[in-house]
Amino acid sequence: MKTKLVAWAFVWMGCVAVSQEQPLALGADHRDAPAFTTGISVGAASPLDLNDIYVFQSPESSRNTVLVMTVNPLTAPGNNFPFSSTGLYEFKIDLNGDALEDLTYSFQFQRVVRGQQVYSVTETRGGRSKVLTRTAKSGTTTKLAGGAKVTASLFDDPFFFDFAGFQTGFAMPTGNDFFGGSNISAIVLEVPSSVFGAQRIGVWGRTLNDQGVQVDRTGLPAINPVFTPPTPFFNAMSVPPYSGMNLKNAFNAGHPSDDLEDFFETAVQAILPLNGNREYSEAVVGVVLPDIMPFNTKSADGFLNGRRLADDVIDAELSIVTNGGLTSDGVDANDVTFRSKFPYLGLPQQQP
């Protein structure tokens, strides 16, 4: 297929949705496609289901960049689901704005032994790979060469949102964080920003199964749940030529460089009911696709510049999607305090 590329801008958005076919909550990219909902109950392990990507300047050093990837959505307190020992987790980094990866950090986990997983971290640049460590252990922090460090462990889910209120179109907001009280598994990598060789970068994450096939990806929050059919806003069954389409698995299998060609029109149709203005919808889609998180390493700002853990992304997203028609979900902060020291995420929820 012909690839269409755009230079990503420092504006981003998203939203959350509920599946019309499965009784599972979707938040950011939590269980965003049939591959992660069909036959899977709430609270079940889903180690290759990518929830969120966070990219921000380190609170401990302005010279460092922190990359966070969360998986295993809706983990109940008392559970500690492992990372996949047959799949692969990757951060993809675009260094020149062409929507193609120039730098990759890969994480390969072994099976659980005595409650812990050993994993490797590999850096790939220009077709050449370098193993940074083969002996990192889950639940601990491992220092890497050049001042980098990594951990992979169980944490509180940093995503916060009034999902119950959203289901009513916020006609009956609850002000309660639906994801409060649940945990996730996360990989946290902090590296000196100098390793990028560029001030402005773009980041996305992906997971691959045991066959090396990409099964999930995400950059900006909730692009797949809200911008590809079916969604609560865009009934693909009634809009030719999209009748009967379910593109969510296809989106997860795709590459950002193909997003504009493959998903532009369906994305416009998806958010058009929320603002009623096609020109505005096209402008928004032109910013959020390709699905890549832009970040200026010299800036500590969030929102329009990467995504910090405490950023209230839903308020910003609702305002953009609805063109100012709805500006808040009433949930302004996470239920667990984020830490100022590495690995920054909140401690995992415990059983009552």
Q: pLDDT (tens digit, 9 = 90+) per residue, 175-207?
A: 899 889 999 999 999 999 999 999 999 999 999
Per 3-state DSSP, the chain is made up of helix, strand and coil in percentages (nearest 5) of 20, 25, 55
How many C-beta atoms lie closer than 10 Å to residue 21's C-beta? 10
Give the best-scoring range by mean pLDDT among 27-31, 162-166, 326-330: 326-330
Q: What percent of the chain has pLDDT over 90?
A: 65
Q: Please list, in sequence order, all residues whose beta carbon lies within 8 angstroms of the beta carbon of residue 90, skipping any fewer than 6 positions away.
A: 104, 105, 106, 107, 205, 206, 207, 208
pTM of the model: 0.89
Predicted confidence band of residue 45 (pLDDT cuts 50, 70, 90): confident
What is the mean predicted confidence (pLDDT) over 25-43? 64
Both ends of the chain: CA-CA distance in Å?
53
- What's residue 16's pLDDT? 31
In the chain, what are the domain boundaries?
A: 34-321
Question: What sign for the dihedral angle of Cα 315, 318, 319, 320?
Answer: positive
Averaged pLDDT of the chain: 86
Cα–Cα distance, 142 to 148 (Å, whole number): 9
Tokens 């916060």 -> residue:
160
What is the C-alpha separation between 54 and 38, in angstroms, rounded?
27
Residue 165 CA to residue 60 CA, distance in Å, equals: 36
Lowest mean pLDDT among 106-110, 262-266, 337-341, 344-348: 262-266
Concatenate the DSSP letters of all residues of 228-253 into one string: SSS-SS--GGGSTTSTT---HHHHHH
The position carrying tokens 């899977």 is: 40
Rama region for 146: left / alpha / beta (φ>0; ψ in -120 to 50; rest):
left
pLDDT of residue 24: 39
What mean pLDDT is predicted for residues 304-313? 94
Which residue bears the tokens 């992660």? Answer: 36
pLDDT in tens, 220-235: 988 888 788 877 666 5
17 or 64: whose pLDDT is higher?
Answer: 64
Q: Which two tokens stand for residue 202?
A: 């773009």
